[in-house]
Structure 1
């Protein structure tokens, strides 16, 4: 039996090196050599995010002090200018709480309850630690859930941090001592604390930069505490501590009660029970890495303004939801992540160069079936000039560009509908396919255009270039739709004109005229380009049906 595995000194965090190789390092190593690593890794993106937030909590609490907002910004600016972390403070903090980071401590194991047990002494199985997806398949699909016999101590530690943040809801094992248990079961209390959030992480060129870019220096940390600063928990819900008191508390919130079962240096089983329930409506200004939306129903119910975390939509590119990230709301209907607000202030204070590039990364989970299974995950990123966080005109340009892309996609979808009418077929499937095709075609074009936005960008020239790029891209897609529509659409048929008693001939030529007219309104073009309504040459339309 292995007696100790202290996460401060033992390797367990996956880091990526500049050559894209990976290795496991300890907490102390991750901080001391952060400049040598390009970032964190892990089995899945949400695991990486949960571990990074654990490191952020350490950095926040290690540097905790009462200070004004100006002092906090200047302190951060000094670390950024020196490209260094406050290692002396971090080391002292880790030394102070070293006994709380032992994964196998018999009395106070890291993020666990030492004597956790059920009335029947049954356990949960390692598959419960790693996550589940529909149809009983394993989320980490290179392994069969039924075949998991053991995990290394390092990997088990990673999944332990992850389960508190992102565990599914549903019935859990009923822990002895938890008054919420009924019939030996722990009934659903919701997902892990980060489950219903769309995380927004800012990445730099190294792990050091990433840790600094996400470090919102606290100004009054007297109440905020990480889990390892408080007395070890028991099986009961901590009713004296119903909501997180600050970011570090939130980043290490114990959504579950867990006990890892070790044998011969490996984790062979786990007991997973309900922990502290999350009240997402109480997390504003404590959670720094998510955007917020005003909730009318929750506000009416509470009798005060309530903001709920925004979630990410699987299959929807990050650039299609830029407004909650880039714009500081003026109507209080939406609040951008505190970390982006912090960096905007750093830029305004000239602590960040206007040419500084960052990568905004969105990570999250979509749950299904009452949040008891993982339906889909989100992991997308966008290289971004820091200037977009502080200059409204530049941010508005990017947001309007995304809207132009959506309007152009509607043009293509309408073309698909008209071609279906011309061919005498149902339009729904063709319309949906055209919608997806439009965004698939525009996606790389937008990312390339967006990456070139900077403090030196001339907005009119950039807007003109974007309209031209969208027009050219969607035009090509439209021409392909005309080719694929076949001979029946080329011949056409008489169709009713909506909201009138009249009819008209709808064929490929008419569909194309409508398409180009609407596309030109969506994307104004320069003189000399194709005029609205120009019909493609017959040689350009090759029937395939």
Structure 2
């Protein structure tokens, strides 16, 4: 069996800064964890194309950053010392070399993907507790591969003869399962004479997470750190690879004891990769099953927008491929954005704002998620990146409460109206209550309206630093003009007939709120 040490094997793809490229010339396309931390100040971001894998990797990197900077505990309990120590590291311009050296000297042996005794983020007991003839297979490990009877979207593979998976790709699939894995049936696992295959959904299943992002990965990792509670102790707040023993699968999952375990030890799934004995750095099979039979971990991820259901239950804002990131802006910048959902800003933003005070470049927000149902259906990756906006957080700029909410509400108002108006026009034209063509018209209108509205939103929002006061009437007119143009484009093909022209003219009033009656 060939080792695959994640500390040194080149499995992560960095995007090097222009300054690094100018200084060093040709730079490696892939690097290991240790080099990534050592050179994070020379990296702008990561070139991970799958948003859920990117979100998972960031959580691991946050935990490692907390360890090497000793920001995993708050010694004096006031929060002030922790903030000062973080700003000192930010001023130093790079992660501390001695902290990186000390951590990897202690834990590098636990960061091997294919270690036979303790493979990283895996449970070696599955080789005995699961039926080796009924594995999940590597096709199920990788989200972009079709498995079973599902359609192939990204690659053509067969369950009967699957292609081996390169280790760098297998790591991302492994992490995606830990955070976004479905509920339902996995490989049957027998523990203490009891055999079951029922799995619980992962902690980020179907959710969209939001990450403060600086001009370098170094800034991004510092901004993404959580301030520990005063009672957090390093010896109790352990990442999975730092535990002396594997957890008991027959019992309840260990409760997170601090930021590091909260970020990395929240999986509801157990996995084991089967390496290719003949080919270094390849996985040929995988076991995927449940991790804990007794209960589940609470969902308290600090990078999610939490909102309240009509039944009074907290749930994360779901990933929606049809929803642009700017529509969440007030829930990201305001302490209490209002509305029936009672949205709560991601917890991490409260401490991330300290970084905006110390850097010349304000932080942006990267959104990463996976549109999924609770069980097996994976619909679409979701990703977005705002311009630098966190200096507009309510604590920094009181105008944001009025401006962000107004811009978003007006943009969404005319988005709803143009969709309703084209549906109404199609209904009048077809003379049917629910013509199937109406949804096509609505989809076309949405595809035209929302990108233009987003462009207008950021253009307006970007004026705030100059002190421009937002004019409500002018802003309303800008979104209305976009809606009018979209409506004309979508309905134009039927305007050549008298019936079509009349239907389009009658439905156009919906752009302006419709006839007197209940407001839309």
For the aligned pair, the TM-score class normalised by the smaller chain equals 0.7 to 0.9
Verify: 1:230 aligned to 2:243, yes or no.
Answer: yes
Aligned 8 A contact 2:304 2:346 in 1: yes
Structure 2 vs 1, CA of residues 453 and 339 (structure 1 numbering), >3 Å: closer, same or farther? farther
Other-structure match for 1:13: 12
TM normalised by structure 2 equals: 0.82
Structural RMSD (CA): 3.3
Verify: 1:258 aligned to 2:265, yes or no.
Answer: no
139, 142, 152: which is aligned to 2:155? 142
Other-structure match for 2:24: none
Other-structure match for 1:337: 346
Aligned 8 A contact 1:416 1:427 in 2: no
Q: Secondary structure at the match of 1:89?
A: helix
Q: Secondary structure at the match of 2:273?
A: strand
1:112 Cα deviation (Å)?
Answer: 1.6
113, 120, 128: which is aligned to 1:110? 120
Aligned 8 A contact 2:369 2:381 in 1: yes
1:424 Cα deviation (Å)?
Answer: 5.3
Other-structure match for 2:302: 288
With 221-230 and 12-21 compared, the bigger mean Cα shift is at 12-21
- 1:271-319 deviation digits (Å, cap 9, x = unpaired): 22211379788343xx22111123464x6xxxxxx63322222211111
With 136-145 and 54-63 compared, the bigger mean Cα shift is at 136-145
Other-structure match for 2:187: 173
Structure 2 vs 1, CA of residues 124 and 423 (structure 1 numbering), >3 Å: closer, same or farther? closer
- 1:390-413 deviation digits (Å, cap 9, x = unpaired): 324224312221211222223324
Unaligned ranges ≥5, structure 2? 22-26
Structure 2 vs 1, CA of residues 260 and 467 (structure 1 numbering), >3 Å: closer, same or farther? same
Q: Secondary structure at the match of 1:334?
A: coil
Verify: 1:153 aligned to 2:167, yes or no.
Answer: yes
1:489 Cα deviation (Å)?
Answer: 4.5
Output the CA distance in 2 between the equivalents of 1:140 and 1:319.
Answer: 29
Aligned 8 A contact 1:420 1:427 in 2: no
353, 369, 372: which is aligned to 1:367? 372
Other-structure match for 1:244: 256
197, 207, 216: which is aligned to 1:197? 207
With 140-149 and 84-93 compared, the bigger mean Cα shift is at 140-149
62, 73, 84: which is aligned to 1:56? 62
Verify: 1:127 aligned to 2:143, yes or no.
Answer: no
Q: Secondary structure at the match of 1:357?
A: coil
Other-structure match for 2:317: 310
Q: Secondary structure at the match of 2:378?
A: strand
Output the CA distance in 2 between the equivalents of 1:278 and 1:42.
Answer: 34
Other-structure match for 1:73: 83
1:141 Cα deviation (Å)?
Answer: 0.9
Aligned 8 A contact 2:14 2:29 in 1: yes
TM normalised by structure 1 equals: 0.79
- 1:179-228 deviation digits (Å, cap 9, x = unpaired): 6523xxx1132x22222432112222222222122122424331422112
Verify: 1:387 aligned to 2:394, yes or no.
Answer: no
Structure 2 vs 1, CA of residues 399 and 192 (structure 1 numbering), >3 Å: closer, same or farther? same
Aligned length: 485
Output the CA distance in 2 between the equivalents of 1:119 and 1:386.
Answer: 48
- 1:377-398 deviation digits (Å, cap 9, x = unpaired): 2112221322222324224312
